[in-house]
Structure formats: structure tokens, C-alpha cells
Amino acid sequence: MLRNIFNYTLIASTLRLATPLILAALGGLYSERSGVINIALEGMMLAGAFTAAVVTVFTHSPWLGLLAAMTAGLLVALLHAVATINYRADQVVSGTAINILFLGVPALLSGALFDSTGATPQLPKEEVLPDVALFNPESSPALASIFNQKPLVYLAFILVGVTFYVLYKTSFGLRLRAVGENPEAADTAGVNVRRMRYAGVLISGALAALGGAYLSIGQNSLFTRNMTAGRGFIALAALIFGKWHPVGALLACLLFGLAESVAIRMQGTVNIPNQFIQIVPYVLTIVVLAGLVSRATPPKALGVAYAKE
């Protein structure tokens, strides 16, 4: 039984399931490093997933779907940025409002466009994101199973390195981290705090929306109501678990992806009700947060609105 659960296909499944978490967690990293709490990752992922599916239905191009998803994520992030940066609204309240909003908006629009509030039309195979065929499945089935993945899987891992470089090797990253730690000192040094926080939140929206788009036109071939199923919150937990560091966030996302992959494979192979198996990733999230949140050190100005005197 264990051999059926733990084999090379588990690695492939872990990579696929971790991808939307990695993209959303990296997005949250940019926002929170700038000092803006982004609990709205779930809503941004939903916006991206729905927009990608709808645009792909009408244009028959998943690439245009990805571009539209990123645009939708930017618009949702702009809403969060205006509320929290310009009007200094409570960042948790603003993020929660966006999450609630996008639990209902996709269903409303789907009903108007497709006469179905539950799902968008099924996309044909040629209109979803293709696999990148690095290995021949016949000659190298194990390697093909692990590495022949959707383009966004590779992009997610590449962006971890890019994010590390941007945050710790560029002046932009230095300024972004400075406004998240001490906006007053950064402002005195000539850094435009508002501009940097806007940049962090907008990047966050684009990346989280990409994670949502992967779910609807990569991992699946349609948008279903609430298809993110809490992944935005799991990505936020991974961000905290990873101590607001891109590599730490990556490792945390892989852990959550592994937990979900094992939970899926255990269904039907062990004598445990499926409902108990399905909650494994969420229980792991709660356990991780309960054990580590008190020891994790966030950016000092995280959640603190800044007004230039």
C-alpha cells in the first residue's frame, strides 16, 4: 500500500500541487515585505482563475487567458492598495472584503455569460496550457512524469530565484524591504514609501492571479466555483512558515503540496473516510501556524499604515 502512495509520481504530483501555492506565496512576499498585509491572496487567485478561463473560452488562447488573469490580479490588487495605502483602511479588513467579494462575483458573471453559476464551459485539450515535453514518456517514463510539466510549474521555480535576486541584490529590493521595516527612515532617505508599497501590492496581485490561472487552465480545464479551496490562505501560511523569505516560502509550499498529494493518493487505498483524508493539508496549515507564528519575525512595519508628515 505504501509503495502505491510513495513513488516517483508523487514527486510530480507534489510539484503540480505546489505551483499555485508558490506563485501566490511569492506574490504575498512582495506585498508583505513592503509593509502591506495581503490576506486577499485567495480573492486574487479566484479573480485570476475565473478571468483566465473566461478569456480562454472566448479567444481560444490560454496565453491570452494568462495575460488577462494577470490584468485582473493587478486590478484587484489596485483596489486593495488604494484602500490600504491611500485611505489607510485596516489591511486585514480590506483583504477579507476582497475575499468575500470574489466568492460571489465569479458566480454572478458566470451565470450572466454562460447561464451557469457553478462552472465555466469545459475547455478542449488544445486550449489549455500544454505540457513542456523534456523527456520521452516511452524511453524515460519516470523522468517524463516528473519533469514534463506545465510552463507555469517551471516559471514558479524560476521566480523563486528571481525574487531572491530582486529582494536582496537590487536597489528596488532594498527599498522595498526598507519601507516594510522602517518607512519613516526610508522616507527620510528619499524613498517614495507610497510608490514602493503600490509596487509590492501590484506585483502580489499579478503573481497570485497567475497561481489562480494555473488552476483553471493548467491543472484543470474550466473554472468551478471556489476552486481555489483556501489555497490563498495556505500560501499565506507558507509565507509565514518560510519567514518571509523566498526559499523558505518555496520549501513550505512543497511541504503543503506533498501533504495534499499524499492525501489524494490515500483516498481509496486506506480504510479511512475520505472526509478525514481531505482535511490533512488544512490541519497541517493550522498546526504549522500554531507552532511557528509566535516565533516568526515579520517585517517591523507590516500592517502599519504610513502617512507622510
pTM of the full structure: 0.94
Domain residue limits at 173: 2-292
CA 243 – CA 306 distance, rounded (Å) = 23
In a domain, 302, yes or no: no
Q: Worst-scoring range by mean pLDDT, 33-37, 192-196, 277-281, 299-303?
A: 277-281
- pLDDT, average across residues 36-54: 98
Any domain includes 115? yes
Over residues 82-100, the mean pLDDT reads: 96
Compare 296 and 305 and report the one with higher pLDDT: 305
If we measure between CA atoms, which residue out of 43, 21, 55, 34 comes closest to residue 203?
34
Place of cell 488552476: 215
More confident residue, 16 or 3: 16
Per-residue pLDDT band at 1 (split at 50, 70, 90): very low
Q: How far apart are CA 53 and CA 220, in angstroms?
A: 10
Sign of CA dihedral 47, 203, 177, 249: positive
300 in any annotated domain: no
Q: Is residue 18 one of the residues assigned to a domain?
A: yes
Average pLDDT over residues 256-263: 88
Q: Per the domain annotation, does 249 fall within a domain?
A: yes
pLDDT of residue 286 exceeding 50, the answer is yes
The pLDDT-based confidence of 27 (bands split at 50, 70, 90) is very high
Q: What share of the chain is helix, strand, coil (3-state, %, to 5)?
A: 70, 0, 30
Lowest mean pLDDT among 95-109, 172-186, 221-235, 273-287: 273-287
Query: Could you tell me where the beta strands, DSSP code E, fall in 22-146?
Result: none
Q: Flag whether pLDDT at 76 surpasses 50.
A: yes
What's the chain's average pLDDT? 92
Q: What is the pLDDT of residues 200-221, one digit of tens each?
A: 999 999 999 999 999 999 999 9
Q: 158: burial class by Cβ within 10 Å (0-12, 13-18, 19+)?
A: exposed
Give the CATH number for residue 168: 1.10.3470
Of the listed ranges 17-21, 105-109, 294-298, the one predicted with least confidence: 294-298
What the block records as the C-alpha cell of 160 is: 523563486
For residue 303, tell me if it sits in a domain. no
At 26 the pLDDT is: 98
Provide the pLDDT for residue 268: 64
How is 110-157 classified by DSSP, letter by letter?
HHHHHS-SSBPPPPPGGGSPPP---S-TTT-HHHHHHH---HHHHHHH
Angle at 260 between CA 201 and CA 7, to 5 degrees: 130
Q: Which residue has the cell 471556489?
A: 226
Q: Do residues 281 and 256 lie in contact, with contact meaning Cβ atoms separated by under 8 Å?
A: yes
**What does the pLDDT look like over 127-176, one tens digit per residue?**
999 999 888 888 888 888 888 999 999 999 999 999 999 999 999 999 99
Characterize 113-145 residue by residue with b for buried, 16 or more Cβ atoms within 10 angstroms of its Cβ, and e for exposed: eeeeeebbbebeeebbbeeeeeeeeeeeeeebb
The reply to whether 216 falls in a domain is yes
Number of separate domains in the chain: 1
In sequence order, what are the residues at sequence separation of 6 or more whose Cβ sits closer than 8 angstroms to the Cβ of residue 279? none
Give domain status of residue 56, yes or no.
Answer: yes
- HSE-up of 196 (CA within 13 Å, CB side)? 25
**More confident position, 82 or 295:** 82
